[in-house]
Amino acid sequence: MQTYLRIEQVAQKLNLSQKTIRRHIASGKLQSHKIGGVYRINKRDLDSFINSNRFNKEGQATFFPEMGSFDSESKNKKKSRVNKDYVNWVSIEKHWEKPKDSDLTFIDLFSGAGGISCGFEMAGLNGILGLDNFDAAVETYSNNFKHPPFDGDITKGSVKKDFVELVKSELNGRKLNIVAGGFPCQGFSMAGHRIVADPRNSLYMDMLDVVVRLQPDFIVMENVVGLRSMLGGGVEQKILQDCVAEGYDVNVTTLHAADYGAPQKRKRVIFIANRIGATNYHPDPFVKEENYKTTKWAIEDLMDRDDDIDFNHVKARHSDDMVKRIGKVEEGESLYSNYSDSWKKCPWNEPSCTIKENHGGVNLHPKKPRTLTVREMARIQTFPDDFIFKGSKSKQMVQVGNAVPPILAKAIGLAIRCSYDLR
């Protein structure tokens, strides 16, 4: 006797929306039968659909939330170093020094000062438009890139519509290859357990909406590692599920900026998704821990350099009492016991602790009784010296602290180029 399931049963089993299931039926990917005026899915057809979507033609695992991730026998696939992710690692080292120019295009959402854009251009990709709603960051972006920024609140429908139309205009008939963005995750944390019922609470949904409207080949999403544990992994699962629902194969893992030459301990979760049947590659780390770049390597020549406001190098003037207190802080420790992640003294002969602006304080210089200058922070973040930040000093610090290290973005950009080259 054959078993037939209702659409709502299939949706529940796969942890997808009924709308998504109907879309798969309409596309012919999932076979259905109309019985008594109601569409039903044969259990055998459902099993066939599940098995066919575990792997794409390249042997890449696709994702169904109920099932988790599946590994394949692909020679390019090996277990990640973290969280038991299954990742398609690709070597980018031979392309690192002199990446060739390409015709590939990208836009940068929640761009801030432009860490992703800077790194992607280092990888030979072509920026089309950035978007942010932080005045100083928009000014910085405009000052450092040939392509324009868009200043606007993406949560507003009219702004999003204008932005999408401007992207199409700037493309001038070219294909949009990549939508990238480090979306703020405050919506997830504020929504609590309501995220499952009301995903609109998160700004990432605005990014996904732009993706749906522009249909890029690839999506790149960056966020803090803490996202992976939000709601017991439910937030990560929701993102993966939504990518699949929109027709994208997706892979996710955590990357460490120091593994690619950044003088900083900075780990970020990176989602890479595509809808063109390519393999989602993440860049294989090529810097061994014993060869990590250090804080000393990054900023030693700036220690006694004169203040230069045009170079974003203006040293803080602390009170005598603060100077004494900073001098007593050990490397790797914070000035304030209740702020363990800020006012932290960077180690000198190791990669810096994570660069950030937090609680009005920034990282402490390892050898001088002061906070780091904006340029020192930018060096550790791997921004080039000709990248100039605009706005007040405090706003410059926020821009640098919130940025994706360009060198990490470069590695990701090169990995995506491999996805095209190896199809």
How far apart, in whole angstroms, are the C-alpha atoms of residue 188 and residue 253?
Answer: 19
Q: For residue 307, what pLDDT band results from cuts at 50, 70 and 90?
A: very high
- Phi, psi of 323, deg, nearest 5: -60, -45
Average pLDDT in the 94-100 region? 94
DSSP for 350-400 reads: SPBPPP--BTTB-PBPSSSSSBPPHHHHHHHHT--TT----S-HHHHHHHH
Residue 345: DSSP 8-state: B
Helix, coil or strand: residue 25: helix
Q: Is pLDDT above 60 for 314?
A: yes
DSSP secondary structure code for residue 227 in this structure = G
Distance from C-alpha of 143 to C-alpha of 145, rounded to nearest angstrom: 6
Mapped to the 3 state alphabet, what secondary structure does 266-331 carry?
A: CEEEEEEEECCCCCCEEECCCCCHHHCCCHHHHHHHHCCCCCEHHHCECCCCCCHHHHHHHHHCCC
Please name each of the domains of the chain with its CATH number: 4-52 (1.10.1660.10), 77-287+405-421 (3.40.50.150)
| Integer Cα distance of 249 and 61 in angstroms | 8
Share of the chain above pLDDT 70, in %: 85
User: What's the whole-number mean pLDDT along residues 106-113?
Assistant: 97
Q: Which helix (H) or strand (E) holds 167?
A: helix 157-171
Per the structure block, which two tokens stand in for 400? 């640098």
For the record, the structure tokens of 97 come out as 């020094």
Asked if residue 60 lies in contact with residue 249, where contact means CB atoms within 8 angstroms, the answer is: yes
What are φ and ψ of residue 251, in 5° steps? -130, 150
Q: Could you read off the pLDDT of 178-224 as tens digits, one per residue?
A: 999 998 765 554 334 444 444 444 688 899 999 999 999 999 999 99
The three state secondary structure string of 110-165 is CCCCCHHHHHHHHCCCEEEEEEECCHHHHHHHHHHCCCCEEECCCCCHHHHHHHHH
CA distance 362 to 371: 6
Give the strand order in the sheet containing 281-283. Answer: 77-79, 86-90, 281-283
Tokens of residue 417, six digits: 């180029």
Under 8 Å between Cβ of 127 and 179: no
pLDDT of 189 reads 43
Confidence of residue 79 (pLDDT cuts 50, 70, 90): very low
Residue keyed to tokens 């294909």 = 175
Q: How far is Cα 195 from Cα 227, in angstroms, rounded to an integer?
A: 13
**Residues labelled as active-site residues:** 185
Report pLDDT for 75: 39
pLDDT digits (tens, 9 = 90+) for 354-401: 998 765 668 999 999 999 999 999 999 999 999 999 999 999 999 999
Say what the alpha-carbon torsion angle 126, 131, 137, 138 is, to the nearest 10 degrees: 90
Confidence category of residue 2, pLDDT binned at 50, 70, 90 = low
Residue-averaged pLDDT of the chain = 86
pLDDT given at position 229: 87
Query: pLDDT band at 70, cuts 50/70/90?
Result: very low
* Residue tagged 């992703």 (tokens): 116
SS3 416: helix
- Can you tell me the distance from the alpha carbon of 365 to that of 346, in angstroms, rounded to the nearest whole number? 6
- Does 69 have pLDDT greater than 70? no
**In this predicted model, what pLDDT tens digit does every residue of 110-154 receive, in sequence order?**
999 999 999 999 999 999 999 999 999 999 999 999 999 999 999
Say which residue the tokens 């910085």 belong to.
140
Tokens matching residue 131? 């978007």
* CB-CB neighbours of 270 under 10 Å: 24
* % residues pLDDT > 90 (the chain): 66
CA-based end-to-end distance of the chain: 43
* pLDDT score at 185: 66
pLDDT, tens digit (0-9, with 9 covering 90-100), for 15-62: 777 777 877 787 677 888 877 667 788 888 887 787 665 434 333 334
Q: What is the pLDDT of residues 146-171, one digit of tens each?
A: 999 999 999 899 999 999 999 999 99
